[in-house]
Chain A
């Protein structure tokens, strides 16, 4: 880093992604209906939009072309043999059948009048529902005795698909790889002798937990469901809430070996097209063998990997994802992860809890104020304590100064050592608290409260006021609703302690300016991280720091550049108007409902 500061290198030509307003009409396969075009009356200025139109058209065409080419290649490359024995050999090889104990290959015959056709099923025990295989696949095929085949043998494929197999999710595949991918995701492969295609039936019954309450983002008011590790259950949880015909869940596979299925979710007539394309572009261009969780995925797609604060929101609440999708954002759900990712976000999003939306606005504003206070305390309190005790004694009222000084009188360490000692101990308690096995959990409380609290003070290692400072700082950090942001503030707190120890308030101010510069220059999927405050966007303050009432939130955030800016009309509580009219026209009591 020092080298790059001192030595100059010709900068590489890079075009950073900046989220701009898009055409809204250009959509591959998502051409707007008449209804949509009527809505575009509410969209942003068409002249501005046109600037991006050509660029976007080209991009869309390119994507279409690539898709078509890929599809054609797939169609041409049918590597399934008409000889069942050859297919069996390939499958055994590809699945390492001799080594894999949980791989089941079930060979059987399909009875066709006076002859029989050999076939086999392949699936993994533990990933599938065996009852469904027995009842919906094996039983119809094996017990079938009146199969009447007309025309050439290829008709068997259509006939089996249309008349024999009653299973609801049956996919015709042309390559072994396609079938293998399905089998790994809880499918069951069916090969039939004489056909150069195979069937993949979705019979998955993946082991996993059911929908439970979220563990980290608890709320008192609002839905109590959290995501699970199952992709389809998670997309289902979103669809259950957002019954919008324009809600799209596009599939994408990530990981060269892990083949982890993911879903990109967005509302096609709200989400900015360039944003959706950028999300797809980033996800498609991840070249990694294995990917296990959205925690990893987040690191692969974020804009600035060194920024302490998270640039992507990870949430385990379907209702929060739905709210953000409705604003025009894009969600990424990954199989195996109970956290969905939402992009783009700004610094405000990490300060708000899901509950804010469900509470009346005075209550949520109180909570927001407390959270901002919590963030400031978590970040600055130990630093300010150090600055005051070391450099700015004069600012403490005399009585308090005497109290602090008399408490510190017997402590042998300088206050910076004292603060570091307590902060590190607190971090240890926190880390141990997460790792400690349940039965010995209470031990931690004894250690924390007695040894690090009371005993440390009695032994004159730390002053009692510092215990209060560290405790309040800890409380502040627990009140931060975003887990990743909590980490960011914890790391930065140590930097502020150092700066305060070096030069008091000047150091803290320098630290704030440097971190401020770092943060304001960051972007989350092309959206400035401090929007709508810096840069200030139109209507930015409506829901930026404090929340306005639900009926007053008329527009989507400007910085998201959604296709439709309006969320609701200026007067959304129409009943109030209707009431007034009724009263005016009905009785003349003179009592106005304002």
Chain B
């Protein structure tokens, strides 16, 4: 009855990369500057290394669970209750991502171009996208990512290249910015900026092979961290530290500066294309994964009946924060400080538990899952 969708390394990498990198267009460069000061780029590299290390541990533990997603692993580790509990945690993470990003992007969009439109009108476009995306399913979404993400990447790199004239390496001084402890101790929890890697463990069942999952993880993490570092480096060299702390939409402001001759200037509207595409894809994939997790956690036959009710819930929740600043505070202060727990610690614990159970069952004669 159900057609098992399988997609490749390219599509999966594009999804994960976009999920991690969307925050470039939102608040990541500024957040990095807040954390690391003039050493924001060192901070960006540091959290990238932490994320890659975290993934290395997880992928090593994942080896015997080829073709199983995190919910399957949770079931192996702690039975039905484990699956449902983990499902709730994932639902919260994805739900927050969708709600917060929908609100933040809509607010930013309203601020930049649709100044006279009500917020609900702007959000309606996001809702249309996520409902349609959910109806088409992960296969269509993955394919769309496969050719939209390269276009977004090229657009982003062009903006970065366009700002070369304004780069002042002197803005990177003092080299260690806010100090070693701020970057390496306090900043460590900001590895949560890579918490979208959690999605890879949900996509594991679509990727089938362990090797594909492994290469997807590394490729997407490495590429995403390169782009994150580039964005931080350009932002912190273009704007001096004090003024960079006052900028709400960093890359938008970088794009605004671009002026190549008399004609090619103010390309920030072109930036809107890639920005909107990236955010729409982020929200659509997140929403589909909410449905997927819900379906799998509660063992439902179909997810399509949930699309309309859940989209209404998501849209309603995005209106709850009183203003833009409140969403950013929750996102930066809370979610991006603690989401490393569900993204990195939870999978590690689950995998260790599942491996122990597997070993026990192997000793008592069980033969599943196979260690490849």
Interface centre among B109, B139, B144, B146 (most CB of A within 10 A): B144
Q: Which 6 A-B pairs have CB atoms at the shortest separation, nearest pair first?
A: A395-B269, A534-B143, A521-B140, A520-B143, A534-B146, A509-B276
Binds A, one of B92-100, B121-129, B192-200, B211-219: B121-129
Q: Does B187 contact A (CB under 8 A)?
A: no
Complex formed: what's the CA distance from A408 to B148 in Å? Answer: 35
Binds A, one of B7-15, B290-298, B325-333: B7-15
Complex formed: what's the CA distance from A392 to B109 in Å? Answer: 12
Q: Smallest distance from the beta carbon of A152 to chain B beta carbons, Å?
A: 62
Complex formed: what's the CA distance from A249 to B271 in Å? Answer: 53
Interface positions, chain A 497-548, Cβ under 8 Å from B, are 503-510, 512-514, 516-518, 520-521, 528, 530, 533-536
A516 x B144 contact (CB < 8 A): yes
Complex formed: what's the CA distance from A6 to B307 in Å? Answer: 9
Interface positions, chain B 3-62, Cβ under 8 Å from A, are 3, 7-8, 10-11
User: Which residues in B have their C-beta under 8 angstroms from that of A533?
Assistant: 146-147
User: Which residues in A have their C-beta under 8 angstroms from that of B3?
Assistant: 16
Q: Smallest distance from the beta carbon of B158 to chain A beta carbons, Å?
A: 15
When C-beta atoms are compared, the residue in chain B nearest to A5 turns out to be: B308
Interface positions, chain B 208-264, Cβ under 8 Å from A, are 262-263
- Contact sample, A vs B, 26 pairs, CB 8 Å cutoff: A6-B308, A8-B304, A11-B1, A16-B3, A392-B269, A392-B272, A395-B266, A395-B267, A397-B263, A397-B266, A504-B113, A504-B114, A505-B113, A505-B276, A506-B113, A506-B125, A509-B276, A509-B277, A510-B276, A516-B147, A517-B141, A520-B140, A520-B143, A533-B147, A535-B10, A536-B8
Q: Smallest distance from the beta carbon of A467 to chain B beta carbons, Å?
A: 22
Q: Does B273 contact A (CB under 8 A)?
A: yes
A517 x B144 contact (CB < 8 A): yes
A536 x B268 contact (CB < 8 A): no
Q: Does B316 contact A (CB under 8 A)?
A: no
Q: Does A287 contact B (CB under 8 A)?
A: no
Q: Does A391 contact B (CB under 8 A)?
A: yes
Q: Does A13 contact B (CB under 8 A)?
A: yes
Q: Residues 444-486 of chain A: 1 if any B CB is under 8 Å from the residue's CB, otherwise 0?
A: 0000000000000000000000000000000000000000000
Q: Does A394 contact B (CB under 8 A)?
A: yes
User: Which residues in A have their C-beta under 8 angstroms from that of B7?
Assistant: 535
Beyond known contacts A395-B266, A397-B262, A513-B284: 20 more, CB 8 A cutoff: A395-B267, A397-B265, A397-B266, A503-B117, A503-B125, A505-B272, A506-B109, A507-B125, A512-B277, A513-B144, A516-B144, A517-B132, A520-B143, A521-B143, A528-B143, A534-B11, A534-B144, A535-B10, A536-B8, A536-B10
User: Which residues in A have their C-beta under 8 angstroms from that of B132?
Assistant: 514, 517
Complex formed: what's the CA distance from A520 to B133 in Å? Answer: 11
Known: A394-B269, A506-B114. A521 touches B136 (CB 8 A): yes
Known: A517-B133, A520-B144, A521-B143. A535 touches B269 (CB 8 A): no
* Number of A-B residue pairs having CB atoms within 8 Å of each other in the complex: 112
Q: Does B320 contact A (CB under 8 A)?
A: no
When C-beta atoms are compared, the residue in chain A nearest to B267 turns out to be: A395
Q: Does B324 contact A (CB under 8 A)?
A: no
Q: Does B159 contact A (CB under 8 A)?
A: no
Complex formed: what's the CA distance from A8 to B8 in Å? Answer: 31
User: Which residues in B have their C-beta under 8 angstroms from that of A534?
Assistant: 11, 142-144, 146-147
Q: Smallest distance from the beta carbon of A558 to chain B beta carbons, Å?
A: 12
B114 x A513 contact (CB < 8 A): no
B267 x A514 contact (CB < 8 A): no
Q: Residues 295-307 of chain B: 1 if any A CB is under 8 Å from the residue's CB, otherwise 0?
A: 0000000101100
A521 x B139 contact (CB < 8 A): yes
Q: Smallest distance from the beta carbon of A509 to chain B beta carbons, Å?
A: 4
User: Which residues in B have their C-beta under 8 angstroms from that of A508?
Assistant: 273
Complex formed: what's the CA distance from A509 to B281 in Å? Answer: 11
Complex formed: what's the CA distance from A315 to B182 in Å? Answer: 66
User: Which residues in A have their C-beta under 8 angstroms from that of B164?
Assistant: none
Complex formed: what's the CA distance from A535 to B5 in Å? Answer: 12
The one of B141, B143, B268, B302 that contacts A530, using a Cβ cutoff of 8 Å: B143
Complex formed: what's the CA distance from A81 to B109 in Å? Answer: 83
User: Which residues in A have their C-beta under 8 angstroms from that of B272?
Assistant: 392, 504-506, 509
Q: Does B70 contact A (CB under 8 A)?
A: no
The one of A6, A13, A505, A516 that contacts B273, using a Cβ cutoff of 8 Å: A505
Q: Smallest distance from the beta carbon of B268 to chain A beta carbons, Å?
A: 7
Q: Does B280 contact A (CB under 8 A)?
A: yes
Q: Does B362 contact A (CB under 8 A)?
A: no
Q: Smallest distance from the beta carbon of B277 to chain A beta carbons, Å?
A: 5
Complex formed: what's the CA distance from A273 to B11 in Å? Answer: 29
A395 x B144 contact (CB < 8 A): no
